[in-house]
Amino acid sequence: MMFSVDKVREDFPILSRNINGKRLVYLDNAATTQKPRQVIKALTDYYENNNANIHRGVHTLSQEASDMYDDAHEKVGRFVGAKYPKEETIFVRNATEAMNLVMYGWAQHNLKEGDEVLSTVMEHHANIVPWQFLREKGVKVNFVDINDDTTLNIDDLNEKMTKSTKLVTCVHASNVVGTINDVKEIGKIAHDNKALFMVDGSQSVPHMSVDVRKIDADFFAFSGHKMLAPTGTGALVAKKDILEKMHPFLGGGDMIREVKLEKTTYNDLPWKFEAGTPDIGGGIAFGAAVDYLKKLGMDDIKKHEQKMLEYCFDSFNGIKDLEIYGPGPKDRSGLVTFNLKGIHPHDVGGILDSEYGVAIRTGMHCAQPLVERMGQSSTCRASFYIYNKEEEIDVLIEGLNKVKEIFGK
Ligand code: C6P
């Protein structure tokens, strides 16, 4: 049985807030989701009952905190199908840090002048900028184009793939247009050409069932805060044999086995990549977020978002001069990017907020090359999650009609 959205809403205290005199309609879930009581409670419970530093103390609190933090790795790793859930799951602050970890830990030490990294034009800046850093050491960085319907151009991928390509990386689901890439196929192309494959799963893991082993991703990055966990949480899930050979990211406490002034040996996975005191409470709450999502069921979450998308597309059809970008509702993740002709997205977003309490995102969505490739300079984006209802789309539509009226369109 599909979960009850009304029941889910009861778990999210913030949803009963009023914004500018109106009930909040939160449609900015691709930026970060709201947090349920269960996650907030996991965080406060930890601080009220178990707070201590991990992996350092023989005392009870330290051991409790260590066990809880270790378990959270196991939960998150298992959630995305990791073969060795604990060892292969590194907690980081966000997806951005996960991808930078691959660049600093793997690429900086394994790539040399003349090697190539192949990313795509449909990436978030976090999967573009770190690779550009490699140009300083003579590594070539190239970007696969999209087709005009915003799907990835696989012919272009095959053409840009060379004997020197050592890493192929792409987004699983686009944060701008919702396009879902066939990561299994892209990964196969990468591996057939002896390149490693990295996936940015920031917009897929929160919204659909993901299995890193089926995808055969060598590195898989995602954010915890886009899937109900606190801000400051994210994960890199990567193959154990690669992590074992990889250089650590940051040096310091907890990532070491033995430190001599001449030479240091490193800790077991995943701790080799988690130097210093981590966000212990956040990590534990990340585990609670996974518990919450698993209870609802990822397939049902996808179905719910599908329903929202179809309702949104149908409703948008009734608005003249509204242009939607990207694929149809069946082929995208739970977000819709659009423009009202002749009205700047910032005006749209501002009026929706001030008059209707509707939160959407406007602008470039940290993906300037994609927005420009689409021939736009800015767009509006409504993104859905488990607690959104069709009535909220009705409020969005009412707001968009009001915006048009204000601008005399
Ligand atoms: N996109 C959005 O509103 P962080 O912020 O590091 O947790 O996630 C970065 C990131 C990486 N890849 C994709 C596909 C993303 O969507 C994001 C975050 C937010 O679209 C904030 S810019």
Is pTM beyond 0.95? Reply is: yes
Q: What is the per-residue pLDDT for 56? A: 82
Residue 260: CB partners within 8 Å, gap ≥ 6? none
96 lines ligand 1 (CB under 6 A): yes
Q: What is the per-residue pLDDT for 270? A: 98
The question of whether 366 is a catalytic residue gets the answer yes
Q: What is the per-residue pLDDT for 1? A: 74
337 lines ligand 1 (CB under 6 A): no
Q: What is the CATH number of domain 40-295?
A: 3.40.640.10
Q: Residue for token digits 């240091």?
A: 264
Q: Which atom of ligand 1 is nearest to the CA of 172?
A: 14
Alpha-carbon span 208 to 387, nearest angstrom: 15
Q: How far is the CA of 31 from the centre of ligand 1 (A)?
A: 6
Contact between 270 and 89 (Cβ < 8 Å): yes
178 lines ligand 1 (CB under 6 A): no
Alpha-carbon span 77 to 268, nearest angstrom: 16
In order along the chain (409 residues), what is the average pLDDT of each group of 10 residues? Answer: 95 97 98 98 98 93 97 98 98 98 98 98 98 98 97 98 98 98 98 98 98 98 98 98 97 96 97 98 98 98 98 96 96 97 98 98 98 97 98 98 96
Q: What is the per-residue pLDDT for 242? A: 98
Alpha-carbon span 190 to 209, nearest angstrom: 23
Q: How far is the CA of 258 from the centre of ligand 1 (A)?
A: 36
Q: What is the per-residue pLDDT for 236? A: 98
Q: Do domains 5-29+297-406 and 40-295 have the same CATH topology?
A: no
Domain range annotation of the chain: 5-29+297-406, 40-295
94 lines ligand 1 (CB under 6 A): yes
Question: CATH classification of 5-29+297-406 is 3.90.1150.10, yes or no?
Answer: yes
Q: Which atom of ligand 1 is nearest to the CA of 365?
A: 20
